[in-house]
Structure 1
Amino acid sequence: MKNVCVFILALFSIVPLYGQKFGYVDTNYILNQLPEYREVQSEIDKLSLGWQEEIIGMSKEIDEMYSELKAEEVLLTDDMKEERLVEIKEKEVALKEYQKKVFGFEGLLFLKQQELLKPLLDKIFDAIEIVSKEQQLAVMFDKSRDLVMVYTDPRHDYTDFVLDELGLGDPSDTIK
């Protein structure tokens, strides 16, 4: 009797799994369809270019200091030469720290991207939630993020539904 109860409980806990629906979307594709994304990307590119120009300027200054040192090397005492090398090394360290601060892991560029993309991603995720509820999906995957999907059946791709929810769908698209 005990085994029968365990079997019945196991059966009732497994059966709902077979009725669950899963789907996936490609948020990178959806993001690229949003007109606001182009504006955000343009702003990020401008910021990045500005920071790159600053870094190039700092690097040129260091190169000039090396050139001056080499040109004046015969006129300098060992102490003076060492003093200039220390100054140059300090500038190199400052340059590397600045590069890391701006372009490193969770640097200024990354933080600015997160700040500017958050409203767009929130909009997409709200649409995904609506589509998931309408389609009665238990789980929605994002194939453009960290999840590795070796195979995807197009029948379970809900990207077009999310685009429709955002008002970006293709009106001539009849396959859903």
Structure 2
Amino acid sequence: MKINRYIGYAGVVALLVMTTTTAFAQRFAYVDTEYILKHIPEYLSAQKQLDALSVQWQEEVDNRFAEIEKLYQSYQEDQVLLSEAMRRKREDEIVNREQEAREFQRQKFGFEGDLFQERVKLVKPIQDKVAAAIQRIAKDQGLDIVLDKGSEVTFLYANPNLDKSDAVITQLGYKPDPSLAEN
């Protein structure tokens, strides 16, 4: 009985060792998508377009709030001279303009707002091309896992030999530029 128990424990230990060895046999690599995207002219162009839209829309938001501030200051100056009905009318106008400005701001910059939609339209196809290139390299090189150095994965140490970013850039038809690396 004791021998069977020891053989059972030995079998479990052997299985654990084989499983652990198999787990360590996986091939890992990483890429830096931020570095890769810096090499793609379409991405840089898309970013410039998005930045210009953002600046334009922010100026519109700022102008709307500046107008509201002027209305409020004018109201403060005239408040003593206004009847109750006129005061309410001006207050309502200020409140309505402020709500409209906030709604405009939400439409442009809010979750799934116009800026988000433009980003999806301009950047997603480029990101899809990068993802496809990463998948091709992973299959060609027999990699099991490819991590993104730029995402929320924290690297305490990463062997530069595992970095496949330049291979992805080449796969996309561009020439890697080491001066763009952030190391």
TM-score, normalising length: structure 1:
0.85
Alignment of 1:3-14 (within 5 A): 3-14=9-20
Letter in 2 for 1:116: L
CA distance in 1, matches of 2:133, 2:77: 64
Alignment of 1:1-176 (within 5 A): 1-170=7-176
Q: How many residues align?
A: 172
Letter in 2 for 1:162: V
- Indicate the SS of the match to 1:83: helix
Please list every run of 5 or more consecutive structure 2 residues that lacks an aligned counterpart in the other structure.
Answer: 1-6, 179-183
Letter in 2 for 1:148: T
Please list every run of 5 or more consecutive structure 1 residues that lacks an aligned counterpart in the other structure.
Answer: none
Structure 1 runs of 4+ off > 3 angstroms?
A: none
Letter in 1 for 2:129: K
CA distance in 1, matches of 2:108, 2:156: 35
With 18-27 and 2-11 compared, the bigger mean Cα shift is at 2-11
CA distance in 2, matches of 1:4, 1:148: 37
- Indicate the SS of the match to 1:155: helix
CA distance in 1, matches of 2:38, 2:143: 24
CA distance in 1, matches of 2:167, 2:33: 12
1:65-103 deviations in Å (ceiling 9; x for gaps): 123323433431133113211220222122223223322
CA distance in 2, matches of 1:28, 1:39: 15
Q: Offset of 1:105 from its aligned partner?
A: 3.4
- Indicate the SS of the match to 1:131: helix
CA RMSD in angstroms, aligned pairs only: 2.1
Please say if residues 22 and 137 of structure 1, whose CA atoms lie closer than 8 Å, have aligned partners that are also in contact.
yes
CA distance in 2, matches of 1:29, 1:38: 12
TM-score, normalising length: structure 2:
0.83
